[in-house]
Amino acid sequence: MSELRRDPITGRWNIINTDEPMGPEAFEVDRRQPSGTTCPFCAGKEQLTPPEIYAIRPATSHANTAGWQLRVVPNKFPALRIEGDLGRRALGLFDLSNGVGAHEVIIETPDHRKQMADLSLPELEQVVAAFKGRSLDLRGDRRLKYTLIFKNFGLSAGASLEHTHSQLIALPIVPKRVSEELKGAEHYFEFRERCPFCDMLQQELHDDERLIAENKSFLAFCPFVSSFPFEISILPKTHSSDFALIAPEAIRDLVRLLKEVLLRMRSVLSDPSYNFIIHTAPIEPRGWDEYHWHLELIPKLTKIAGFEWGTGFYINPTSPELAAKALRETQLPV
Confidence label for 89 from pLDDT (cuts 50, 70 and 90): confident
Assess whether pLDDT exceeds 70 at residue 74: yes
Residue 88 burial (CB < 10 Å; 0-12/13-18/19+)?
Answer: exposed
In the chain, the percentage of residues whose pLDDT exceeds 90 is 72
Report which of 126, 125, 297 is spatially closest to residue 220, judged by C-alpha positions: 297
Decide the pairing of beta strands 294-299 and 274-279: antiparallel
Report which of 159, 162, 171 is spatially closest to residue 97, judged by C-alpha positions: 171
Strand partners, 289: none
Residue 309 burial (CB < 10 Å; 0-12/13-18/19+)?
Answer: exposed
Give per-residue pLDDT as tens, 224-248. Answer: 999 999 999 999 999 999 999 999 9
Residue 204 burial (CB < 10 Å; 0-12/13-18/19+)?
Answer: buried
Backbone torsions φ then ψ of 44, nearest 5 degrees: 90, -10
**Which residues belong to the active site?**
165
Confidence label for 28 from pLDDT (cuts 50, 70 and 90): confident
Confidence label for 99 from pLDDT (cuts 50, 70 and 90): confident
CA dist 321 and 324 (Å) reads 5
Q: Coil, helix or strand for 60?
A: coil
Q: Looking at this protein, which amino acid is placed at residue 6?
A: R
Q: Coil, helix or strand for 250?
A: helix
Assess whether pLDDT exceeds 90 at residue 219: yes
CA dist 179 and 182 (Å) reads 5
CA dist 261 and 222 (Å) reads 11
Please compute the mean of the pLDDT values over residues 269-274 and round it to a whole number: 95
> How many other CB atoms are found less than 10 A from the CB of residue 231?
22
CA dist 185 and 307 (Å) reads 26
Angle between helix axes 176-192 and 196-207 (nearest 10 degrees) is 80
CA dist 328 and 268 (Å) reads 10
CA dist 89 and 15 (Å) reads 41
CATH number of 3-23+39-81+94-329, picked from 3.40.228.10, 3.30.428.10, 3.40.605.10, 3.30.70.260 = 3.30.428.10
Of residues 63 and 23, more confidence is placed in: 63
Confidence label for 1 from pLDDT (cuts 50, 70 and 90): low
Confidence label for 127 from pLDDT (cuts 50, 70 and 90): very high
CA dist 52 and 63 (Å) reads 7
CA dist 179 and 165 (Å) reads 27
CA dist 262 and 117 (Å) reads 6
Confidence label for 38 from pLDDT (cuts 50, 70 and 90): confident
Q: What's the chain's average pLDDT?
A: 92
Give per-residue pLDDT as tens, 142-192. Answer: 999 999 999 999 988 888 899 999 999 999 999 999 999 999 999 999 988
Q: Which of 27-41, 64-78, 239-253 has the lowest mean pLDDT?
A: 27-41
